[in-house]
Structure 1
Amino acid sequence: MAQEGCPTMKPVFLLALLAALPGCNAVLSEGSADLAGIGGAALADAVTDNGAVAAGIGIGVQSAARAGLQYTQRRLQRAEQDRIALTAGPLAPGAVARWSIAHSLPIAEDRAGQVTVSREIGALSLRCREIVFSVEAEKKAADFYTAIICQNGNRWKWASAEPATERWGALQ
């Protein structure tokens, strides 16, 4: 006899398997939403026989899963940006330093590269810097990007807005 709850164990297992594949953000994003939809449908089927209610539960669970994944990806992006800003902040213009980050969650690749301050920007108490940084890739040449960081108290923080053009990962 099958145990109750087994249909939801498979989607959870598959989601964990997808999470173990860093760099597969598209697969993880779509896969987690699809698996949440399947899990939500299984839950809805156990709760009601009404098709409209079941569909609403499935869509709600799917939306919550997608929002949770996007929140997590934004936090990982912010951690990468903070690491680059932290490394670039104390540099003198023209000096080069190495930055790297090892993520604790397996849904993002660990990143590394170099960063330099190309110029100082600001006046009075507004202290900002334009930086140039690289992102190394395993099987290709490093990509280079620019950003602005600003001093916020004792910390340097990312100040560049999300551009409307294509970007790597979502870091810039």
Structure 2
Amino acid sequence: MNVRLEGFVALRLGVIAACAAACVSMSGCASVGAATGALAGVATGAVTTNPAIGIGVGIAVQAATDEAVKRVTKSLHGDQQMAIAVTAGMSDVGETRPWKVKHTLPIENGHGEVRVLREFDNALASCKEFAFSVADSDDPASHADWFLATACKQTEGWKWASAEPAVERWGNLQ
């Protein structure tokens, strides 16, 4: 390939990358995989001059990116659940305490209150049922949604123990 054609391909790939980055930053995490896959597919197709290889690479990159985003999101949600469960474990029945999670990157941060409703023992562990809120913003007058959940005491400490009541909050990523 001559130098002029290589420069054109590099410029074209740079423009595509910039457009994909702009799309990703505007549309959120749900489209990261699609944008990354499209970018990889176009870049591969341009370099190999074979669209079939570009499509294959694009699909593979999209699938891998989507899985990575789901894994990170699940971990961040787990941080919130852990903070809420620990707060519930430290609280007595009827007591309300604040909870807060602040990540290094400003995504999936959260705060609200935990109110322990009852404490009970089962054959495996001591558990607490609680209501927790998740505030929309840091404004004290902001709207907060309330959810019900259960935490149980394990050897490592208090752990999240319920799935269904909080599915509305975290989807199926529990």
TM-score normalised by length of structure 2: 0.78
Unmatched 5+ residue regions in structure 1? 19-26
Is the CA contact 2:45–2:55 (under 8 Å) kept in the aligned structure 1?
no
* Letter in structure 1 aligned against 2:41: A
One-letter identity of the residue aligned with 2:74 = R
Structure 1 partner of 2:35: 35
How many residues were matched structurally?
A: 162
> 1:23 maps to which residue?
none
In 1, Cα distance between the equivalents of 2:163 and 2:150?
A: 9
Partner of 2:134 in structure 1?
Answer: 135
What is the CA–CA distance in structure 2 between the aligned matches of 1:36 and 1:106, rounded to whole Å?
A: 21
Provide the identity percentage.
30
- Give yes or no for contact 2:41–2:56 (8 Å, CA) kept in 1: no
User: Greater RCO between the two (CA within 8 Å, min separation 6)?
Assistant: 1
Q: Distance in 2 between matches of 1:6 and 1:100?
A: 40
1:40 and 1:58 in contact (8 A); partners too: yes
Taking the aligned partners of 2:40 and 2:125, their CA distance within structure 1 comes to 49
Query: In 1, Cα distance between the equivalents of 2:23 and 2:155?
Result: 40
Counterparts of 1:75 and 1:155 in 2: how far apart (Å)?
Answer: 18
Query: C-alpha root-mean-square deviation of aligned residues, in Å?
Result: 2.7
Residue identity opposite 1:99 in structure 2:
W
Cα distance in 1, alignment partners of residues 167 and 132 from structure 2 = 17
Q: Is the 8 A contact 1:11 1:36 kept in 2?
A: no
1:33-84 CA-to-partner distances (Å, cap 9, x unmatched) read: 2221222113322442333222111111111111111111101100000010
Task: Report what 1:10 is aligned to.
Answer: 18
More helix by share: 2
Q: Is the 8 A contact 1:129 1:150 kept in 2?
A: yes
1:29 deviation in Å? 3.0
The match for 1:156 is 158
User: In structure 2, what residue type is equivalent to 1:89?
Assistant: G
